[in-house]
Amino acid sequence: MIEIVRNPHIDFISKRKYGFMFSAVVITISLLLIFIKGPNFGIDFTGGALIQVRFEEPVNTAALRNSLARIGKENAQIQSLGAMKNEYIIRAAGEDPGGFANSVKEILAEDFPDNEKEFLREETVEPKIGKELLIKTIWAVVIALMLILIYVSFRFDYRFGTAAVIALFHDALFTIGVLVLTQREFSIVVVGAILTIIGYSINDSIVISDRIREKYTKMRRESYNVILNTGLNETLSRTILTVGTTLLAVIALLVFGGSVIADFAFTLLVGFIIGTYSSIFILANIVSVWEERFPKKRK
């Protein structure tokens, strides 16, 4: 029998201040990034146009930028895909998405006449549609959060419910922070990934809370922190195994899944890692602080 951790007895609760400190720092940085730098919203939300082109021969970014400048689109984003230096996404946010794709095609035909090119993808979204989608997405997130809150508070003690929701915000904020830092495109698919992370984070919280609740009825004489520690330790191997297999799948997606899904897989990777951390170091620790300040009467 292989065991990842054999009968662990790690005292997570006594080390809780390190967890809190780490989280406080990364969340502050994330918030600063989100509010100062802001997410790199994709054209799904801002409106605009995007064109993905694959050249036969490698082309350098500066030459592309030059061409774009000639049609007054020097502000367009150029993203290089893969290591071959021959595939690019050119993206222009904001108003007048109309003729963008066509004018880019024309100028590329003019400037790179002998370089065979294929237009893999073209997208145009009016700013009005982007705004509607943003509102719709916010609604989706709000409703998802409410339903989860209702479910968690119905199934669990309000302390665990609250702690799970804090952990969930923690994970979402951290992930968005990393997205801002790396300036990955914040598209509708990425929002889907963040919601998936929220689901996963709650999932972890529930497994751990379930176990702590079970221990609570069995270990009546023990102190609350011992119960929390036992719950965490008993679920530790499961936590590591599950995040392990999930990450195997996500990494396979990131490495082999191609350009279309890369941002999505990256977001999941970041979120699942932080989600696992938070379910161990944030959830139970919040409950433990709560218990110390406002002890619950035991029956």
Residues that bind another protein (CB under 8 A): 1-2, 4, 52, 54, 118-126, 128-129, 133, 136-137, 139-140, 143-144, 147-148, 151-152, 155, 188-189, 191-192, 195-196, 198-200, 202-204, 206-207, 210-211, 234, 237-238, 241-242, 244-250, 252-253, 255-258, 260-261, 264-265, 268
Structure token pair of residue 197: 């992370």
The nearest distance, CB 55 to another protein, in angstroms, is 13
Instruction: With beta carbons less than 8 A apart as the criterion, state whether 125 and 97 touch.
Output: yes
- Between CA 160 and CA 211 the distance in angstroms is 12
Q: Which is nearer to another protein, 74 or 95 (CB)?
A: 95
The nearest distance, CB 24 to another protein, in angstroms, is 26
- Between CA 199 and CA 15 the distance in angstroms is 27
Q: Which is nearer to another protein, 139 or 158 (CB)?
A: 139
Q: Which is nearer to another protein, 103 or 246 (CB)?
A: 246
Which letter does DSSP use for residue 121 in this model?
E
Q: Which is nearer to another protein, 3 or 114 (CB)?
A: 3
Residue that has been written with the tokens 């999930």 in this structure: 246
The nearest distance, CB 202 to another protein, in angstroms, is 4
The nearest distance, CB 289 to another protein, in angstroms, is 24
Q: Which is nearer to another protein, 3 or 293 (CB)?
A: 3
The nearest distance, CB 290 to another protein, in angstroms, is 21
Strands (E), 169-224: 185-186
The nearest distance, CB 37 to another protein, in angstroms, is 25
Q: How far apart are the first and last CA of the chain?
A: 40
List C-alpha distances in Å: 176 to 70, 113, 138, 258. Answer: 35, 41, 15, 22
Instruction: With beta carbons less than 8 A apart as the criterion, state whether 66 and 98 touch.
Output: no
The nearest distance, CB 42 to another protein, in angstroms, is 12
Q: Which is nearer to another protein, 50 or 286 (CB)?
A: 50
Residue that has been written with the tokens 């590329």 in this structure: 108
Q: Which is nearer to another protein, 103 or 124 (CB)?
A: 124
- Phi, psi dihedrals of residue 196, rounded to the nearest 5°: -65, -40
Q: Please, what's the b/e burial string for 82-109 (b: 16 or more CB within 10 A of its CB; e: otherwise)? A: eeeebbbbbbbbeeebeebbebbeebbe
Instruction: With beta carbons less than 8 A apart as the criterion, state whether 118 and 53 touch.
Output: yes
